[in-house]
A and B are shown apart, each in its own frame.
Chain A
Amino acid sequence: MTSSNGDDGGDGGVNPTSGATARGEYERRMVEIRRGFELSGDGLRAATARAALVDDLVMRFWNQEVKADPELAVGVAVTAIGGFGRAHLFPYSDVDLFFCVEKSSEKLAKESIRRVSQSLWDCGLQVSLTTRLPGECERLDPVNPEFGLALLDLRKIGGDEAVFAKLRDKSVARLRSKDAKAIGVALAELTRERHAKYGDTLFHLEPNIKDCPGGLRDANVCHWLKGLRGEPGAGSEGFAEAIAFLAAVRCFLHYRHERDDNALDWQAQDAAAQRRIGLTGTSQDRVDAAYWMRAYFRHARVVERCLLREAAGAGLKVESKSVVRRVRAPERAGFLLRDGLLELKPTSASGVDAAHEPEIVLAAFAAVAETGARLSYASEERIANAIPVLSANLEEGPGLWRQLSAILRGERAGVALRAMHTLGVLDVIVPEFHGIDALVIRDAYHRYTVDEHTFVLIDTLHGLAADPGTDAPDWRVKFGSMIRELQNPGLLYLAALMHDTGKGRATEHHAVESARMAQSVLDRLDMDAYDAGLVMRLIETHLEMSAALRRDIFDAETVRAFVGKVQTHESLRMLTLFTYADVAAVNPDALTPWKAENLWRLWMATANQLDRNVDEERVHARVSGGAIGGGWRKDEKIARVLALVDGKQAEAEHFLEGFPERYVRTRSPETMRQHFEMTQHFAEEPFQVAFQHGAKQAGSTMSEITLVTQDRPRLFAGMAAALAAWGMNVVTADAFANEAGVVVDSFRFTDTFRTLELNESERERFVSSVRDLVAGRSSVEKLLSGRRRGKRKPPRMVVETKIEFDGTASSHSTLLQVIAQDIPGLLRAISATVSGKGYNVEVALVDTEGETAIDVFYLTSDGERLSGEQERDLGEALLSAIEENSQ
């Protein structure tokens, strides 16, 4: 202590007769403040009390200097800036002390200021001391903008009133008026940098309650932005409550850590919950940490929204990812898009409040997802207030899926989903999501709450679709093209949205629970069985690829086991992309290039192996056992089918017997029941056809036609020809036969000329035409002669035709794999050639990957594998047929 030069005899709280006395007195008062906090839980009161205590201490030391040299009474203003200036000094916060000194007093004051600072340090305070001339405070220093920002909270502690008046009324007033814009820009930049450090989200498992988005620093930014706009004020009631909560937590953390450490770690969360820190009300009931953290996130959301509102009002961007695409809203949209803001119109076309119309509100969120625009605050308020009406007016079914899919597929879906979640709209559509709202599940790797992890995952998937750049590694390029080529990406995003909802329930296997919860969502959306099956399998198996990566991915057995889990190329593609994004969304460093490369290698090995064993692995319904993919056990899934066929269990078992396992694994029990029921009508019509038009489904124009009949030559070729004649482009197909020779051939296709979409009456004719053709009641040639050929666009990527035979994949058939440019008529050309040679298609698996068609057939010739000569002959014939089709 260097300034123990006498007692000034003042009447303040601290009497610094000596250094030891001052420190002892300060510590005694700090104990009282702490006791007050422990009794009241009022963090703001504690922070204010400490600021007053430090004010006293500073002035005692300064007055001693003035007493020793009365000339110091003139020319020096003692002020507080920053948090100290706001009179909010948390227990272990730095003390931002500013001596504003006139030029004439500079020399005289120098040593006294040093002694005051030293005395404060000796009392145990962390002092950040600044000394400047008034004129040095007039402009924002671009190198040190923090000082200019701290001056916005200038507060007089003591010293020369005239110097303080000059500083406040001239220098700082000039700073505010001349550099208001520069201050705003600096504030926005500092905020963006800080937010980026925290992944631009407030939903951290262990947040820093000062620096994280939604923390006290953001609250200060709100306060400064308001001040710069000349609108100082307390803010909304919710904002004041949030500040009080955060202040209480910060006090608690300082006392707990005994330093200026604002990290709310898990142990601190437990302790804070136990002591109900920041919670209002008279209840003394203990709350659990998850409940308490939800209260924290609720308050942090209020601060974040206030910040965004203030920043938008000042024309500033405080989010690092805030690029908005400029798109005009359609005339009849029910909302307007202007300057990155979306504003709901007052009323809909029918004169009802637009915020009460689910169609308009969801279309608005789809526009947000497409552009990254933000809802105006007025619109947010209207939607938040309209939640009960929206809930009552919401119509479930394919229309709702169409709208949800549009939101999920938008490039900025994360922005829209977060806004929907905050306003309660997501809960209206998917109430199952509510269980993971701000849910903290503690593990050493995850950084975000479960809901935020989900949104980051969806953001990551959309990020993959962006141009990877020229230096990107092979895996990044491949994953990018994979997501762009998905036939129905909405399904992947829906699975992503639902994949962790099971974590909201007490269960050991959250993937299975999430799938169970997703089932009810899919039912409400009335999604078709194929799409619903894909979503369910993806959710159920979403941990399988990560698990496979922990095994030897170069080992054939690992790959074979994984093949058994995914079954189809479409599922594999989705699961690969999903796994990539799921790992990346754990924390920013989780997806290392090492992991991504291994993921890519596992995908490649699995894709190569996927169709190799289909013919060998057959269902034995009567002696069921062993595991089947998608979380089902074989006996469970078959038991479900059997339960659906009242009184016909033996016939249904007979029907399932001998199908490739892939058939069972890729169909829902309900779909298999339908196929079985179709066999029950063979007496009336031996060629049973089921058709579902794609226009009914959202996010997809894919239609599906399924033929169930007794096996006979040329069935598959006949179906392919019929579809080609109608101008349909087959995207995926499979053909399976059971032990009794019943075949199930399913084709999913797009309608090149929109014939069936524009002419609903044609659908019936289409189905009859296909049935007649495969039954031999009409001629393929006749149909093909009337075939219309569209003008083909040149391909973006040229695919070289490759034909491969494998005699080892099956014990009784030969595998034929054809890779070729995907153009209409290709499947017809291939299957007609195969049939023309008299070979039987035992199993067919048709897939499309972007512009590449990958068609796999298991063929027999008189019940045997093809000979080498037959393979060569067929290979040549296929090359000619494919070449001819491409002309």
Chain B
Amino acid sequence: MQKIEAVIQPSKLDAVKDALVEAGISGITIFEARGHGRQKGHTEFYRGREYAVDLLPKIKLELVVTDEMKEKAIDAIIGAARTGRIGDGKIFVSKIDEAIRIRNDERGEIAL
């Protein structure tokens, strides 16, 4: 099993969700996040006052999939979230040792 964490633009959330569902993945966890990588913040002005936007709004997704579904999920995220501009986000993948469904104690891939 693999955990996929993706940091994406908030505006791409609906598209990414749809793409994952289409790829056969329905279980995701979503976090509202702030941050920046190479896409640094910027400064905005309003009525002569300066406001620094150093941390940009982002959405972080987490999903755990079977090994076979990993590439499908990654492709779905990339396909939906990519604009080609700085700030599109990143995907991190890591191994998961165990998954347990709390309701009935099912374990392993069946619990996903």
Residue positions of A touching B, CB distance < 8 A? 474, 550-555, 558, 592, 594-595, 597-598, 601, 604-605, 607-608, 800, 802, 819, 849, 852, 854
Q: A594-B57, A598-B10 are in contact. Are A819 and B34 (CB under 8 A)?
A: no
Q: A601-B53, A605-B44, A802-B48 are in contact. Are A550 and B11 (CB under 8 A)?
A: yes
Which chain A residue shows the least CB distance to B53? A601
What does DSSP make chain A's interface, helix, strand, loop or mixed?
mixed
Asked if B57 and A597 sit within 8 Å, CB to CB, the answer is: yes
Asked if A592 and B47 sit within 8 Å, CB to CB, the answer is: no
Q: A592-B32, A594-B32, A601-B53 are in contact. Are A819 and B10 (CB under 8 A)?
A: no
Chain A residues with CB under 8 Å of B56's CB are 554
Chain A residues with CB under 8 Å of B45's CB are 608
Give complex CA distance A554, B56 in Å: 10
Give complex CA distance A595, B33 in Å: 10
B46 partner, pick from A553, A554, A598, A608, beta carbons under 8 A: A608
Which chain B residue shows the least CB distance to A592? B32
Give complex CA distance A387, B101 in Å: 57
Residue positions of B touching A, CB distance < 8 A? 9-11, 13-14, 32-34, 44-48, 51, 53, 56-57
A598 partner, pick from B13, B48, B57, beta carbons under 8 A: B57
Which chain B residue shows the least CB distance to A551? B11
Which chain B residue shows the least CB distance to A552? B11
Give complex CA distance A604, B32 in Å: 21
Q: A551-B11, A601-B53 are in contact. Are A594 and B34 (CB under 8 A)?
A: yes
Give complex CA distance A854, B48 in Å: 11
Chain A residues with CB under 8 Å of B9's CB are 552
21 contacts between A and B (CB under 8 A): A474-B51, A550-B13, A551-B11, A552-B9, A552-B10, A553-B57, A554-B56, A555-B11, A594-B34, A594-B57, A597-B57, A598-B10, A601-B44, A601-B57, A604-B44, A604-B51, A605-B44, A608-B46, A802-B47, A802-B48, A819-B48
- B74 vs chain A, min Cβ distance (A): 22
What does DSSP make chain B's interface, helix, strand, loop or mixed?
strand
Give complex CA distance A555, B57 in Å: 13
Give complex CA distance A628, B26 in Å: 38
Q: A555-B11, A608-B44 given. 7 additional CB < 8 A pairs?
A: A558-B11, A592-B32, A594-B32, A595-B32, A601-B44, A601-B53, A605-B44
- A583 vs chain B, min Cβ distance (A): 13
Asked if B10 and A550 sit within 8 Å, CB to CB, the answer is: yes
- A874 vs chain B, min Cβ distance (A): 19
Give complex CA distance A854, B51 in Å: 19
Give complex CA distance A608, B43 in Å: 13
- B66 vs chain A, min Cβ distance (A): 27
Chain B residues with CB under 8 Å of A597's CB are 57
Chain A residues with CB under 8 Å of B46's CB are 604, 607-608
Give complex CA distance A819, B10 in Å: 33
Asked if B47 and A854 sit within 8 Å, CB to CB, the answer is: yes
Q: A594-B57, A598-B57 are in contact. Are A852 and B47 (CB under 8 A)?
A: yes
Which chain B residue shows the least CB distance to A801? B48
Chain B residues with CB under 8 Å of A553's CB are 11, 57
Q: A819-B47, A854-B47 are in contact. Are A550 and B14 (CB under 8 A)?
A: yes
Which chain A residue shows the least CB distance to B31? A594
Which chain B residue shows the least CB distance to A802? B48
Chain B residues with CB under 8 Å of A607's CB are 46
- B60 vs chain A, min Cβ distance (A): 11
- A842 vs chain B, min Cβ distance (A): 24
- A307 vs chain B, min Cβ distance (A): 37
Chain A residues with CB under 8 Å of B32's CB are 592, 594-595
Asked if B11 and A800 sit within 8 Å, CB to CB, the answer is: no
Which chain B residue shows the least CB distance to A595? B32
- A695 vs chain B, min Cβ distance (A): 32
Chain B residues with CB under 8 Å of A598's CB are 10, 57
